[in-house]
Chain A
Amino acid sequence: MPVAAVTGLGAVTALGPDVASLAAGLAEGRCAIGPLTLFEHGGRCRIAAEVPDLPASASRGLPPATARRLSRSDRLALAAAAEACRHAGLEPPERAGVAVYVGASVGGMHEAEAAWRRRRTGADHRWRLSRLVATPVAVSAAVVSQALGLFGPRATFSTACSSSALAVAEAAAAIGRGRMRVALALGTDGLCRLTYAGFDALQALDPAPCRPFAADRAGLSLGEGAGALVVEDLEHARARGARILALVLGAGIAADAHHPTAPHPEGAGALRALRAALDAAGVTPEAVDYVNAHGTGTRQNDAVEVGVLRTVLGTRLRRVPVSSTKSQLGHTLAAAGAIEAVVTVLALETGLLPPTVNLRTPEPAWGDVDFVPVPGRRQPLRIALSSSYGFGGHDVTLVLARAH
């Protein structure tokens, strides 16, 4: 059965416009959660991990009229996708058959909100198509496909926080079926008022930067960004001399079937997803060297997640580092799966474990767990897990392996 390899990475996050700045920020243990400036918000929380200086125009490869209408989520997606394709050395002739799998939940809502306000206040006398065409979440996939000339199969997944983990899983599965050589897996979400106000109204946001796994953790911090991975048939990658960064050994997808927002108290879906992932990858729990957690910093998620890891890893958990990238990048919602997969690939490739920042005192019952305190450290890794859990109890775990 064909093996799925990762041959290119792209990322635009609050830590910077590319993978290099992401890697540097991870190594520094820098927390990119700061003041919310993108829009006004009247609630109790005023912070977010915003992408700084996102260029207003993207857009080589797109007609000017299209470029004018790109949403924030589109521009993030395009930048990350372009970087990943460049990194993978995918030239135009090779691009025509490349599949595009995207995870997205916000789409052009930020721009639609502005259009809505204009319509309500009478600044616009009627709804204007040009202000609304970028709203659907599937548009980012079209933007990436048309701008970069990727005309293979295309799909957009929207399962909230697990969306782009699902996209990575789908890319690997498509390669595994043997009918596709190269796929781009991508996740993107820009900040918008609706999402921010919604999470704040649910009292899910920590007014201070989130503290995943801390005893006094008080909620999540919202972020934005895009992550992209070129997932390619290993033999095909070798034949064209591509650099193999990591392997995607397998994925598990499962559901809690419990509650629209709260996770199953015992993490039934998360457990199922993790076990299914290990099973699909042909990997035992003993082989796992690192876990990049969902780790949002909410009281519920972190507790459930540690419980699930204890159940699967048993006493070995104390020797398996577990860190939350959301402590640095905030929760990038649908982009989280892909961005955190990028982070996990970097960890496998360089041996640099990203830390969990803002963690002064972990939950006492988790004193035996290694959450990778700042400043992170070097440790050779062979097999790593990356988990993402979405609203509605949609759970995905990816199993990634070092290239050699």
Chain B
Amino acid sequence: MIVDVAVTGLGVVSALASGVAPFAEALRAGRSACGPPRRIEVPAGAHVAEVVALEARSVVRSAVGRRIDRTSLLALAAACLALDDAGLPHDAAGGPRGGLALSSAFGNLSETETFVERLLARGTGNPLVFPNLVLNAPLGYVSIELGVTGPSAMLNEQEASGEAAIQWGAQLVADGVVDVCLAGGADEVTAMLWRIHQETRTLAAGPPRPLDAAARGACPGEGAAVLVLEPLARARARGARVYARLVPDPGFAVAAPVHGWPRDAERIAAGLRARLAGVDAVVASASGAPALDALEAEALAYAAPGVPVTAPRGAIGDFGTAGALAVVVAALAVAGGFVPPTPGCRTPRHPGLDVVRSTARERPVRAALVTGLARGGIVRPVRLEEA
């Protein structure tokens, strides 16, 4: 028996805005969070998308949580916001029928940096820091704070990490294993990460321009998004607001350079085509990185010509779990009937693509697809449909 999966809560902590209503409003207005640094120590002319206000006090209750790292805190804050948004208590994912699926592309960067620096300099590790360095630290902290003792998982799929975690959680609900699942991801940005981008020449000068002909690079960012997923029948029974139905999907893979983007756009288009049936909006993975943008633009032109496309990494910056926020964008599109504009895109690179620019497209969105492209050839689409 397959259970219909409902999205009943959205939690967003992003450089653009935190909380679903401010986030939706900023998206609609076409604002971008990619701008001069406010937190990390990088040159004043750099473009980054940072989360500025993030406090542990409001979401950390346990004694153990005193040591929570930034990435885990981003995830926890988003999870709490999602539960609030769903009208559920914070222990709603507790017990045997609750689940948790999180992701992070790089995990706890800032403490990994201090740990390795000290290790290289002094030859020893800091025992206080080490427990926080496991990639699944967010899973531990969130499960401790919210009492999640049921099935859980931490996933990493590089640029499609957020989509992967959300699909794992959706599958738990669809299998009938849990009644409430929190699913999403978090990543942080640091000065060192920015410097790595700069020195390896993967940064644009100026704000990112996803899907634009003049795109020259992505904008490093950070943030988190968590969804509340429930069986549709249960959601209706408790009178929950349902944003959309999420269609579980294991994704697919195509031939690609291991460390790079696939080159065969037709292959990707072939895999996406069925998933694009009846779709009124595409939420693209495009970040302003030319190789990715070109690939995706071509694939979408083949598979979904004329379907409005939006690329939220122009608004929220680029990080491995930005795809979790892309799923939020898709949910808002279906529930709110709008496709947000892509900040930074003025002249689309591909003539066959309808990239929504300048102003939001207000129109019914019966179905939306997040493409979920990642290096190494993995594709993790997330399809949302009106409930």
**Contact at A154–B251, with CB atoms within 8 Å?**
yes
Q: Which residues of chain B come closer than 8 Å to A99, judged between CB atoms? A: 250
Q: Which A residues are CB-close (under 8 A) to B155?
A: 155-158
Shortest Cβ distance from A275 into chain B, in angstroms? 10
Q: Is the CB of B257 within 8 A of A257?
A: no
Asked if B89 is at the interface of the complex by the 8 Å CB criterion, the answer is no
Check B96–A197 contact: CB distance below 8 A. no
B237 in contact (CB, < 8 A)? no
Asked if B253 and A255 sit within 8 Å, CB to CB, the answer is no
With a cutoff of 8 Å between Cβ atoms, the chain A residues found around residue B67 in the complex are 260
**Interface residue? A25 (CB, 8 A):** no
Interface size on A, residues (CB 8 A): 76
B259 touches A257 (CB 8 A): no
**A136-B156, A166-B153 are known contacts. Are A202 and B130 too (CB-CB below 8 A)?**
yes
Contact pattern, B 241-265, Cβ under 8 Å of A = 1, otherwise 0:
0000000001111111111000000
Q: Once the chains are docked, how many angstroms separate the CA of A231 from the CA of B131?
A: 33
Given known A105-B134, A129-B200, A197-B119, contact A393–B140 (CB-CB < 8 A): yes
The distance from the CB of B103 to the nearest CB of chain A, in whole angstroms, is 9
- Cβ A151 vs Cβ B255 within 8 A: yes
**CB under 8 Å from chain A, chain B span 80-135:** 94, 96, 100, 105-106, 112, 115-117, 119-120, 123-127, 130-135
Q: Is the Cβ of B139 less than 8 Å from the Cβ of A394?
A: yes
Q: In the complex the two chains form, is A391's CB within 8 Å of B131's CB?
A: yes
A393-B157 contact in complex given A146-B256, A194-B116, A254-B151, C-beta closer than 8 Å = no
- CB closest residue in chain B, given A137: B156
Nearest-neighbor residue (CB-CB) of B271 within chain A: A151
Is residue A198 within 8 Å, beta carbon to beta carbon, of the partner chain?
yes
Binary interface profile of A, 124-148, with partner B (CB < 8 Å = 1, else 0)?
0011110011101111011101100
Residue of A nearest to B94 (CB): A257
Q: How far is the CA of A62 from the CA of B258 in the complex (A)?
A: 9
Inter-chain contact A155/B164, CB cutoff 8 Å: yes
Q: Are A253 and B152 in contact (CB under 8 A)?
A: yes
Q: Is the CB of B202 within 8 A of A392?
A: no
Q: Are A66 and B259 in contact (CB under 8 A)?
A: yes
Given A158-B134, A259-B64, 5 more contacts at CB 8 Å?
A116-B120, A146-B255, A157-B155, A391-B140, A392-B141
Nearest 6 interchain pairs by C-beta: A392-B140, A142-B376, A198-B130, A197-B125, A42-B123, A153-B250
A-B contacts, 27 listed (Cβ < 8 Å): A43-B124, A63-B257, A126-B200, A142-B376, A142-B378, A145-B253, A145-B377, A146-B376, A151-B252, A153-B250, A155-B157, A157-B155, A160-B136, A173-B175, A174-B250, A194-B112, A197-B119, A198-B125, A201-B127, A253-B150, A254-B149, A255-B139, A255-B143, A260-B64, A260-B144, A261-B131, A394-B140
